[in-house]
Structure 1
Amino acid sequence: MMTSFGAANTAIFGDPKLQIQGFNGLKSSGLIPLHRGFHGVSVSSSNSSVVRAVSTPVKHETTAEPKRSKVEIFKEQSNFIRHPLNEEMLNDAPNINEAATQLIKFHGSYQQYNRDERGAKSYSFMLRTKNPCGKVPNRLYLVMDDLADEFGIGTLRLTTRQTFQLHGVLKKDMKTVMSTIIRNMGSTLGACGDLNRNVLAPPAPLARKDYLVAQETAENIAALLTPQSGFYYDVWVDGERFMSAEPPEVVKARNDNSHGTNFPDSPEPIYGTQFLPRKFKIAVTVPTDNSVDILTNDIGVVVVSDDNGEPQGFNIYVGGGMGRTHRLESTFPRLAEPLGYVPKEEILYAIKAIVVTQRENGRRDDRKYSRMKYLISSWGIEKFRNVVEQYYGKKFEPFRELPEWEFKSFLGWHEQGDGSLFCGLHIDNGRIKGTMKKTLREVIEKYNLNVRITANQNLILCGIRHAWRRPITTMLAQGSLLQPRFVDPLNITAMACPALPMCPLAITEAERGILDILKRVRAVFEKVGLKYKESIVIRATGCPNGCARPYMAELGLVGDGPNSYQIIFAVTQRKYDFAQIWLGGTPNQSALAKCFLNKVKLQELEKVIEPLFYHWRRSRNSKESFGEFTNRLGFEKLQEWVEKWEGVPKLSGKFSLKLFGDKETYQVVNELAKLQNKTAHQFALEIIRNYVAAQQNGKSAE
């Protein structure tokens, strides 16, 4: 006996708060069903309920209409994401209406306004490109550089998903900017909105089979899940198509409907009229390489090779996601978990089956719970796997064992393996501006280099001849693009979202404040005796949505409320002083942090981190990271240290040294300190601490 869709959802979601509202097949409301056919399967559940409706049956006329969010109605009435956006872009207003504001996200843009300015809102648009694997052809980089100056705010931003963001584009210039990107090997289609976002992969241009397969797979997945109905080209280039030829295996996988995944005769065979319940994120990588934060994605794909290094298939993780809502415990960040293994020729079909499972069952009534992580959290991985297997058409093989993950930055100079070099450049917060922007353009243009964007907001210059290394190094140094050994280790792993002044969701500073926070953390490191080479992963976001993935950090700062206004560097900044502090992530991005303290004033950050860093230095195990240390000790002990802290104990009197006996000594020490970007006092104190440590170690040896 078939169950009704509503009953099926109730059986699946034991927690009423997380019950999926049946959304599809709403004939009485005029909705086009997400799935026109009925595909019955049998799925066992932990509570012995039997769910037989995997896809959506036609809704009975007597059944009450389910709730649905306003965004679902906008999508339904848009004729595949065209209207009223098309009409809104043609009028003279500086902004667009609510429906168009939601729809333009599918085109890769967000409407914003400058929140530093008072009075009438000055609207503009942020554009985000879509660059699978972070690949950016030479021509596209130069075009984006030009657009930033001519139509943006003079800067480019590298995102945590290996794409560009272009800020400050006025509505009247949008069509010019969009069409220019499209005509120059770029796209913004699907960079935002309720569909698959940019697909991540390790950015290193290594001529290794596993890396090449990972990158090719990421590109194929991106092509498979790219919208097909043409709305993007209709709005921005008057219907002219600029789609490159797709591999035949991608076309075949998209068109396959042998297991009821597709909408027959629809312009969007995978997405239908309603697309997905919420954004969807996928990353592909190779064993050990966690440069893409693999466990934070809806789907994580890992290349599995045989003993000869020949790729054979893929491990698949599912259910990761960072977003949450403050003080709402039913929302949470979550790590992806193993689903299974598939042979390499089956990966596109497996990905499609997972996406369709979320399309059919993800919540569409409350967007806070629409990500796939909530579906898996409520169903459990076994039930989720059983449903996916109906769309995949076969059982997943057991997950293959993997080695430990490592964070790889790819900074500095490296051999590509094909006779060329690549050079990874650290970019603070991914913001390319000023002299750095000018220098990068000169190098990329002069040597005709392609580039790649990393998931840590950095840039890689590719295909460099050995003879070019010296002149390029000189040019980069003149543009303040330093080799990694000259960059503070704290800065190398730090990330922050743009936040204020443009992001409408931000409630605190992030990008504009993190460099100051890093300096303050470095000062505390020096105060408690930690060495300069010591580092922890620090990430900051202006709201709980987690765009810079703060819930994976060893020290995560999440904006949590306003306090005052300040003028900093002659720029009016809305200064927000409250943050949540999250602890417990690990350097290899394999553990989820937990909220340690709520509503911490950033002015008082040192009162929290000073005792933690002091005890970490004194009580850690060999090679134990800060995140591992906080997890081992537990929050109760950490809070006790913070509450009882009275400051760093002073050095014993017999080691007390006068810092500077005369002006000449101070001047010499000051010059040496400048080489390490320190003050004379900081440098002198470090020498003293090293001296004390050496004396103490000597006594221990005796």
Structure 2
Amino acid sequence: MVNTAPTSLTNRKPSRVEGIKENSNFLREPVATEILQDTTHFSEDAVQILKFHGSYQQDNRDNRAKGQEKDYQMMLRTKNPGGLVPPQLYLALDQLADEYGNHTLRATTRQGFQIHGILKKNLKSTITTIVGNLGSTLGACGDINRNVMAPAVPFKNRPEYLYAWEYAQNLADLLSPQTGAYYEIWLDGEKAISAEEHPDVKAAREKNGNGTIIHDSVEPIYGTHYMPRKFKICVTVPGDNSVDLYSQDLTLVVMTNKKGELQGFNVFAGGGLGRNHNKEETFARLADPICYVVKDDVYDIVKAIVATQRDYGDRTDRRHARLKYLINDWGIDKFRAKVEEYFGKSVEPFKELPKFKYQDFLGWNEQGDGKLFIGISIDNGRVKDEGKFQLKTALRSIVEQFNLPIRLTPNQNLIFYDILPEDKEAIQEILDKCGIIVDPTQIAALTRYAMACPALPTCGLAITESERAIPRILERIRALLDKLGLQKDHFVVRMTGCPNGCARPYMAELGFVGSAPESYQLWLGGSPDQTRLAQPIIEKLHDNDIESFLEPIFVLFKKSRKGKESFGDFCDRTGFDAIREFSANYTPGEPTSSGKSRHRVSLRDDVYLQLKETAEKQDRPMTELVHEALDKYFQSL
């Protein structure tokens, strides 16, 4: 094995968590001992190891009372490579949410499910049931490779999408912990019945590639200390950014030939969004293009990148431990050279890619083999029955009656696929009966593209509200846009209760990041396709001041945008200095046109109707079309 740390770190004391991992006997203790104790909660050391098993210890902060023990409960997260949830597993999760949880499921931004509200005494039964129904929570959290993402859309006639699913599963298998601790603790030593892993995966795990493998270790890829911090991977196809590929530690892009045959993969590395307020040494970062590898080398390049981070990532400061900081400190060339040492040869140059776009694939669609799929929007990923909207009931009924597989999406939505055309009407009837809107054009656009993390009351890191606050805030933003004549405009809004960025707010056009009780740091200028980082424009914006702060920015957007320019692109082009200057001189209620007063010009009825029809077809304001036509006319004189 190569040197386990760069020279600059060898004389620094490892973080406390490194010692906990070292003393855990490969993720066994103190969890194995404490799960047998009749207590309401785990110790701090056990909590760190418990994460590797897929669970976080939380408490309901709404129920905190001075002098009383916290209302301890566990959040359990599933690992679903590519978002796959077999029907048997979904029904088990639905039942567990009612039996042991808080009667809801939550689709995560990494294509898994979370169950909240589980008591310590019920944790083993919950995990045992999940594993017994084709599921797993192993490696869903912790200093390890997390759930491997892939586009959820089931295009059966587009082989690149099927390759993305295949390799997401294979990479999840390759980097899954090999310790028996999970099965010893939760299944009394019984190995789960699961699909046989691909022979190439097993061979890659055992193959020593210039220091990638730790010999004579229970964990040949991870070793005793696992990774310095969490490690996130996605696999996607050219042009599809439904996975937020720039926010990942490692992204593979499937590259095929004209016949649809797999040739290799483009490799990105170094993305990550977690940061801390008032700590400039922590920051969000986009992944960089690294190289291209042929398909036969894909597991070796993944191992080489993982080994580089494993051996050289910062284990002394957990705030500085992600791969993005290693690449930022070293630079791309040094990082690539080190990866090549583990890889055993030079890498090939990155291949050209089309622009990446975001799509959510909601509503009814054909999947390319005669069958259908349906994308269902889930507000902030929360599957529940509430009032006339009985989403939990609807999903359970569909799975029970039609035995359909599910793919969770990276935007907290859900896709049923492999639907027989003759079953469409019956499925739609269930959704209609339960009040679920399927047609994406009937879903408020701000809501459709928004995401929020759970935050309060369960997340211990939350500074302020997120999931519970965003519906009301989106309504207020919509009302403000309507007031300003921007009814047709929408943009990507994301919100988190703290700066860790679980809902990826730093890639949004408008990002709210909890910075104080009832206050948010506001980020502007991300891309509607999540290909550019936003930037913070104000550190603490109180909930009560959202409209007054955003109004002048929206007015400037209306006055100065170019054509159909998106809000994020406008903010990025205009720059924050110009936005702040306009805001400082803005008087509420002033005319929003480019002139100081409005002039009226009469049009013949036939010209007006033609203008209106053209504006609707082009989705542009009529005034903009008139100005454009007159400008061209006067220029021709």
Q: Which amino acid aligns with 1:237?
A: L
Q: Which amino acid aligns with 1:131?
A: N
The within-5 A match list for 1:425-436 is: 425-434=376-385, 435-436=390-391
Residues 5, 102 of structure 1: alpha-carbon distance in 2 compared, 3 angstrom cutoff? closer
Residue 467 (structure 1) aligned to one of 402, 419, 422: 422
* 1:308, distance to aligned residue in structure 2 (A): 3.1
CA distance in 1 between counterparts of 2:537 and 2:521 reads: 8
2:406 counterpart of 1:456: no
Corresponding position of 1:110: 56
CA distance in 2 between counterparts of 1:192 and 1:416 reads: 32
Corresponding position of 1:191: 140
Corresponding position of 2:255: 304
Corresponding position of 1:506: 462
CA distance in 1 between counterparts of 2:627 and 2:343 reads: 62
2:150 counterpart of 1:150: no
CA distance in 1 between counterparts of 2:628 and 2:96 reads: 61
CA distance in 2 between counterparts of 1:255 and 1:365 reads: 29
Residue 273 (structure 2) aligned to one of 322, 331, 342: 322
Corresponding position of 2:540: 599
Residue 336 (structure 1) aligned to one of 287, 293, 298: 287
Residues 307, 692 of structure 1: alpha-carbon distance in 2 compared, 3 angstrom cutoff? closer
Give the root-mean-square deviation of aligned CA atoms. 2.0
2:597 counterpart of 1:647: no
Residue 505 (structure 2) aligned to one of 550, 572, 580: 550
2:28 counterpart of 1:82: yes
**Do the aligned residues in 1 keep the contact of 2:556 with 2:579 (CA within 8 Å)?**
no
CA distance in 2 between counterparts of 1:527 and 1:700 reads: 27
1:82-134 CA deviation, whole Å, 9 max, x = no partner?
01111111111100101001000000000000011132211000000000000
Corresponding position of 1:161: 110
Q: Which amino acid aligns with 1:553?
A: A
Please identify, of 87-96 and 190-199, the stretch whose mean Cα deviation from structure 2 is larger.
87-96
CA distance in 1 between counterparts of 2:621 and 2:83 reads: 46
* 1:698, distance to aligned residue in structure 2 (A): 11
Q: Which amino acid aligns with 1:189?
A: L
2:585 counterpart of 1:635: no
SS of the aligned residue for 2:326 comes to helix
Residue 236 (structure 1) aligned to one of 166, 181, 186: 186
Corresponding position of 1:9: 7
Residue 407 (structure 1) aligned to one of 353, 358, 361: 358
CA distance in 1 between counterparts of 2:577 and 2:624 reads: 33
2:18 counterpart of 1:72: yes
CA distance in 1 between counterparts of 2:203 and 2:310 reads: 20
2:552 counterpart of 1:611: yes
**Do the aligned residues in 2 keep the contact of 1:527 with 1:648 (CA within 8 Å)?**
no
2:395 counterpart of 1:440: yes
TM-score normalised by the chain length of structure 1? 0.83
**Do the aligned residues in 2 keep the contact of 1:319 with 1:373 (CA within 8 Å)?**
yes
Q: Which amino acid aligns with 2:506?
A: Y
**Do the aligned residues in 1 keep the contact of 2:3 with 2:311 (CA within 8 Å)?**
no
1:215-273 CA deviation, whole Å, 9 max, x = no partner?
10111100000001111111100111114311100001000014121111211111111
Residues 695, 550 of structure 1: alpha-carbon distance in 2 compared, 3 angstrom cutoff? closer
Residues 485, 505 of structure 1: alpha-carbon distance in 2 compared, 3 angstrom cutoff? same
Residues 4, 200 of structure 1: alpha-carbon distance in 2 compared, 3 angstrom cutoff? closer
CA distance in 1 between counterparts of 2:321 and 2:252 reads: 22
SS of the aligned residue for 1:531 comes to coil
Residues 642, 244 of structure 1: alpha-carbon distance in 2 compared, 3 angstrom cutoff? same
* 1:691, distance to aligned residue in structure 2 (A): 10
CA distance in 1 between counterparts of 2:548 and 2:43 reads: 46
Corresponding position of 1:295: 246
Q: Which amino acid aligns with 1:496?
A: A
2:159 counterpart of 1:209: yes
SS of the aligned residue for 1:389 comes to helix
Residues 695, 322 of structure 1: alpha-carbon distance in 2 compared, 3 angstrom cutoff? closer
Residues 699, 183 of structure 1: alpha-carbon distance in 2 compared, 3 angstrom cutoff? closer
CA distance in 2 between counterparts of 1:378 and 1:97 reads: 35
Please identify, of 640-649 and 333-342, the stretch whose mean Cα deviation from structure 2 is larger.
640-649
2:536 counterpart of 1:580: no
2:375 counterpart of 1:424: yes
1:634-690 CA deviation, whole Å, 9 max, x = no partner?
1001111222221133597998xxxxxxxxxxxxxxxxxxxxxxxxxxxxxxxxxx9
SS of the aligned residue for 1:301 comes to strand
CA distance in 2 between counterparts of 1:419 and 1:308 reads: 21
The within-5 A match list for 1:242-321 is: 242=192, 243-321=194-272
CA distance in 1 between counterparts of 2:622 and 2:336 reads: 58
CA distance in 1 between counterparts of 2:88 and 2:195 reads: 16
Residue 526 (structure 1) aligned to one of 472, 482, 486: 482
**Do the aligned residues in 1 keep the contact of 2:64 with 2:71 (CA within 8 Å)?**
no
SS of the aligned residue for 1:174 comes to helix
* 1:696, distance to aligned residue in structure 2 (A): 6.8
CA distance in 2 between counterparts of 1:493 and 1:473 reads: 23
1:495-522 CA deviation, whole Å, 9 max, x = no partner?
0000000000000100000011111111
Residues 358, 694 of structure 1: alpha-carbon distance in 2 compared, 3 angstrom cutoff? closer
The within-5 A match list for 1:19-30 is: 21-22=9-10
1:118-152 CA deviation, whole Å, 9 max, x = no partner?
32211000000000000000000000000000100
SS of the aligned residue for 2:469 comes to helix
In structure 2, runs of 5+ residues without a counterpart are 601-619
**Do the aligned residues in 2 keep the contact of 1:607 with 1:642 (CA within 8 Å)?**
no
CA distance in 2 between counterparts of 1:379 and 1:458 reads: 37
SS of the aligned residue for 1:476 comes to helix
* 1:412, distance to aligned residue in structure 2 (A): 0.9
CA distance in 2 between counterparts of 1:412 and 1:556 reads: 26
2:328 counterpart of 1:377: yes
* 1:699, distance to aligned residue in structure 2 (A): 10
CA distance in 2 between counterparts of 1:83 and 1:700 reads: 76
The within-5 A match list for 1:215-226 is: 215-226=165-176
**Do the aligned residues in 1 keep the contact of 2:27 with 2:179 (CA within 8 Å)?**
no
SS of the aligned residue for 1:90 comes to coil
CA distance in 1 between counterparts of 2:394 and 2:31 reads: 38
Corresponding position of 2:617: none
**Do the aligned residues in 1 keep the contact of 2:394 with 2:434 (CA within 8 Å)?**
yes
SS of the aligned residue for 1:82 comes to coil
**Do the aligned residues in 2 keep the contact of 1:142 with 1:441 (CA within 8 Å)?**
yes
**Do the aligned residues in 2 keep the contact of 1:551 with 1:594 (CA within 8 Å)?**
yes
CA distance in 1 between counterparts of 2:436 and 2:356 reads: 28
**Do the aligned residues in 2 keep the contact of 1:281 with 1:298 (CA within 8 Å)?**
yes
In structure 1, runs of 5+ residues without a counterpart are 11-20, 23-64, 563-576, 656-689
Q: Which amino acid aligns with 2:547?
A: E
Corresponding position of 1:93: 39
**Do the aligned residues in 1 keep the contact of 2:340 with 2:347 (CA within 8 Å)?**
yes
SS of the aligned residue for 2:353 comes to coil
Residues 554, 699 of structure 1: alpha-carbon distance in 2 compared, 3 angstrom cutoff? closer
Q: Which amino acid aligns with 2:137?
A: T
1:572-591 CA deviation, whole Å, 9 max, x = no partner?
xxxxx211000110011110
CA distance in 2 between counterparts of 1:72 and 1:389 reads: 27
* 1:480, distance to aligned residue in structure 2 (A): 2.5
Q: Which amino acid aligns with 2:162?
A: L
* 1:426, distance to aligned residue in structure 2 (A): 0.5
2:435 counterpart of 1:480: yes
